[in-house]
Structure 1
Amino acid sequence: MSAPQAWMIYGANGYTGKLVVEEAVRRGLRPVLAGRNAAQLQALAAPHGLPVRAFPLDDAASLRSALDGIGLVLHCAGPFSATCAPMLEACLEVGAHYLDITGEIDVFAHCHAQDARAKDKGIVVLPGSGFDVVPTDCLAAQLKLALPTADALVLAFEAGGGPSPGTAKTSVEGLGKGGRARIDGKLTRVPLAWKTRSFERDGQSRFAMTIPWGDVYTAYVSTGIPNIEVYMGVPPSTAKRLRRLRLLGPLLDLGPVQSWLKAQVQKKVRGPSEGTRGKTGCVVWGEARDPQGNEVKRRLRTPNGYEITVTAALGIVARLLEGERPPGGYYTPSRLMGANYVLGLPGVSLD
């Protein structure tokens, strides 16, 4: 683009949205703050003199009107299973780049299905521009470059600090859907806590279980590796509990049950404090293997997941608003920013 365009943070008054606003202001940026709650948005915007647009996502005409003059939307209001489709549709209609911070597999698939439309409009559609899935996607791409013949990929992470309300609600939705893995190129449903294994961290063995993380979708797009599993470090008791829940799978997906569980999240989950975020980080593991038995392994250390979400997403915003405009279409982080993008983010290092 010849000059920076107006851009919007939708869900600016949410847990992660507020962190993005704070860092954007620190960098001298002036996003439009948007969401459904006008009073909260005004309170957030007033100290910085930022513009505000309050609107819901369930009125297509009003949504399109609210994006008038906007060149990019950073969508931070989850669960994205409910919010992605209307916002993405509006971005496609008005010609605004679409970014979000989802980790939801079905949302990645929906965005990918709009690839041809995004190309026609000349806009970038890039879901997963935060901790979901920038570090893991970039690590997957690095491993593919190191072992081009790889046909199996294992990714894993251990994160500290606890979830935000939005992340916790997304996890509740996942209970009824079970696990996911990429098997022989196909996105496949597997049981909750399908597999367990250990990874080494600082000389200690760390227990982990498979989870339906976004890379089951995105890493395949980025690398073409047909077999992909993603693990999360948890206490062994967590895997045992999830395996007991397998029998309740259909019940956990019922609307009333989902509503009750999400209400509990709303009451009890506040997200990690600034002090907790500063004291907790993440470790990300990656392993790629080929049919001949060759293997490459890498390990990343990153700041707290919410901290890296902020810096990763804003780095992509800057690329799209201030750099040379890339061709339109669906992108993963590594396909737009390069496999080593994550290594340039504050506090990230190869271990």
Structure 2
Amino acid sequence: MTSRIVVFGATGYTGRLVVESLLAKGQRPLLAGRSHTGLQALADPHGLPFQTADVTDPSTVRALVDPGDVLVSTVGPFSRFGHAAAAAAAEVGAHYLDSTGEVDFVQEVRRRYSAQAAGNGATMVPAFGYDYVPGTLAGAVAAERAGTAAGRLSIGYFTVGSLRRGISGGTRATLAEGLALPAAVWRAGSLQYTRMASRTHAFRIHGRVRRAFLATGTEVLFLPEAFADLGAVEVYNGWFPALSRIAGPLTWVTQKLERVPAGKRILAAAAKQAGGSGGGPDAQERSKSLSHAVAELDGQDGRPAVEVHVQGPNVYTLTGELLAEGAMALQQGKAVGSGVLGPVQAFGLEGLTTLCASAGLTLASD
């Protein structure tokens, strides 16, 4: 029996982009989510199967997949709502991808489910979208080119073009909530934590110097495992140059507020306000911007050694394309490992490069 691709959260903004991409590639995924009416409206025009499932009843999520199926989850925030899908995949032996940008969720998924998934022959690759495949690809190519000369790897995320009306409600809420979280970095052989936006880094993008603030990403978890010579890995966010100038003081204030009950309530209200009504930019708005990531690798002497750029479509379009291509690769048996893995460990660098190219993410010149 041919394995199926199941899109959980299919009626949400990211889920719809994944479904759209799969349909364009000739796939017929099973659509899943809470709303029977919403699923039917999305499925019927294409003659697609659909099935209701709710994270509050994990048995309904487990019922979505059989061994060897591919479960794509876009149901977030993942730290609150993502575990039902991850647990189901590991328990059943289904492959798994998700669209999370929450590094703490990825760490918890590894801790809870990796051994069980590996034992059941399942490959689970969380954060397989714009968060954090572009930086992983650029960083891995840089590390491979540098060989044993690797020192500090600095990865920057940028956009090219206008994002004025091109940010989803979920992204706005994530940015607001993230100000109170610590940034994970890899230094001196261990994972360490520091204040978000505690410093900035200047990158050169298309001939212009653009500054980005210290953020976080799953690159700090997975790249040191794939390239043991890396001395440090840091991830920076350069979407908004103006924000990079004030992000440091903002995170200092938000982390102070996070320590008291009244402050937590203020931050929760701010994140909810930032999220708005949800949804995201339409195809026309997405066409106005591109995604760009850069990896700068210093040698062990502290001097610049390698610089790698990758560029692809709009951040949301890219996420839909990557999840669709990743699901097809898992369905076709192209994974090279099992358990909860990073993109390089799951597909190998050559396989990941090919997969990313099919999604429109390619190596680029500065």
Whether TM exceeds 0.5 here: the answer is yes
C-alpha separation in 2, matches of 1:216 and 1:324: 24
Alignment-derived partner of residue 157 in structure 1: 157
Contact persistence 2:54–2:61 (CA under 8 A): yes
- Cα pair distance change 1:151/1:30, threshold 3 Å: same
- Cα pair distance change 1:284/1:79, threshold 3 Å: same
Alignment-derived partner of residue 283 in structure 2: 274
Contact persistence 1:9–1:31 (CA under 8 A): yes
Contact persistence 1:79–1:167 (CA under 8 A): no
Q: State the Cα distance separating 1:68 from its structure 2 match.
A: 5.1
C-alpha separation in 2, matches of 1:74 and 1:269: 20
The counterpart of 1:231, out of the listed 236, 253, 262, is 236
Contact persistence 1:343–1:350 (CA under 8 A): no
Alignment-derived partner of residue 171 in structure 2: 167
Alignment-derived partner of residue 53 in structure 1: 51
Alignment-derived partner of residue 251 in structure 1: 257
C-alpha separation in 2, matches of 1:70 and 1:122: 8
Alignment-derived partner of residue 27 in structure 1: 25
- Cα pair distance change 1:284/1:236, threshold 3 Å: closer
Counterpart code for 1:183 = R
C-alpha separation in 1, matches of 2:35 and 2:270: 23
Deviates more, 1:235-244 or 1:27-36: 235-244
Alignment-derived partner of residue 134 in structure 1: 133
Q: State the Cα distance separating 1:18 from its structure 2 match.
A: 0.6
Counterpart code for 2:205 = R
SS at match of 2:48: coil
1:264-314 deviation per Cα after TM superposition (whole angstroms, max 9, x unaligned): 134255422211211210221111123234611111222111122122221
Alignment-derived partner of residue 328 in structure 1: 338
- Length-normalised TM-score, structure 2: 0.87
RMSD of the TM alignment (CA)? 2.3
1:49-103 deviation per Cα after TM superposition (whole angstroms, max 9, x unaligned): 1111122112233332343577110011121111222211111111111111112
Spell out the pairing of 1:114-133 with structure 2 (5 A cutoff): 114-133=113-132
The counterpart of 1:338, out of the listed 340, 348, 356, is 348
Q: 5+ unaligned residues in a row in structure 1: which ranges?
A: none
Contact persistence 1:183–1:227 (CA under 8 A): yes
Alignment-derived partner of residue 195 in structure 1: 199
Deviates more, 1:5-14 or 1:320-329: 320-329
C-alpha separation in 1, matches of 2:8 and 2:68: 12
C-alpha separation in 2, matches of 1:264 and 1:136: 29
- Length-normalised TM-score, structure 1: 0.91
Q: State the Cα distance separating 1:47 from its structure 2 match.
A: 0.7
- Cα pair distance change 1:69/1:30, threshold 3 Å: farther
Alignment-derived partner of residue 84 in structure 1: 82
1:202-260 deviation per Cα after TM superposition (whole angstroms, max 9, x unaligned): 22221211112332223333333241111121445313433233133143476534542
Alignment-derived partner of residue 219 in structure 1: 223
Counterpart code for 1:60 = P
C-alpha separation in 2, matches of 1:269 and 1:322: 34
Alignment-derived partner of residue 348 in structure 1: 362
C-alpha separation in 2, matches of 1:326 and 1:47: 36
The counterpart of 1:204, out of the listed 201, 208, 212, is 208
C-alpha separation in 2, matches of 1:32 and 1:344: 22
1:4-55 deviation per Cα after TM superposition (whole angstroms, max 9, x unaligned): 3122101111111111111211222111111122222211111111111122
SS at match of 2:158: strand
- Cα pair distance change 1:307/1:248, threshold 3 Å: closer
C-alpha separation in 2, matches of 1:286 and 1:324: 26
Deviates more, 1:168-177 or 1:271-280: 168-177
- Cα pair distance change 1:325/1:139, threshold 3 Å: closer
Deviates more, 1:86-95 or 1:234-243: 234-243
Q: 5+ unaligned residues in a row in structure 2: which ranges?
A: none
SS at match of 1:131: coil
SS at match of 2:82: helix
- Cα pair distance change 1:239/1:293, threshold 3 Å: closer
Question: What is the aligned length?
Answer: 349
Alignment-derived partner of residue 183 in structure 2: 179
Is residue 289 from structure 1 mapped to residue 289 from structure 2 by the alignment? no
C-alpha separation in 2, matches of 1:263 and 1:242: 19
- Cα pair distance change 1:328/1:179, threshold 3 Å: closer
Q: State the Cα distance separating 1:337 from its structure 2 match.
A: 2.5
- Cα pair distance change 1:215/1:325, threshold 3 Å: closer
Q: State the Cα distance separating 1:110 from its structure 2 match.
A: 1.7
C-alpha separation in 2, matches of 1:199 and 1:220: 22
Is residue 309 from structure 1 mapped to residue 319 from structure 2 by the alignment? yes
Q: State the Cα distance separating 1:349 from its structure 2 match.
A: 3.5
SS at match of 1:338: helix
Counterpart code for 1:116 = A
Contact persistence 1:134–1:334 (CA under 8 A): no
Counterpart code for 1:154 = S
Contact persistence 2:211–2:244 (CA under 8 A): no
- Cα pair distance change 1:41/1:250, threshold 3 Å: farther
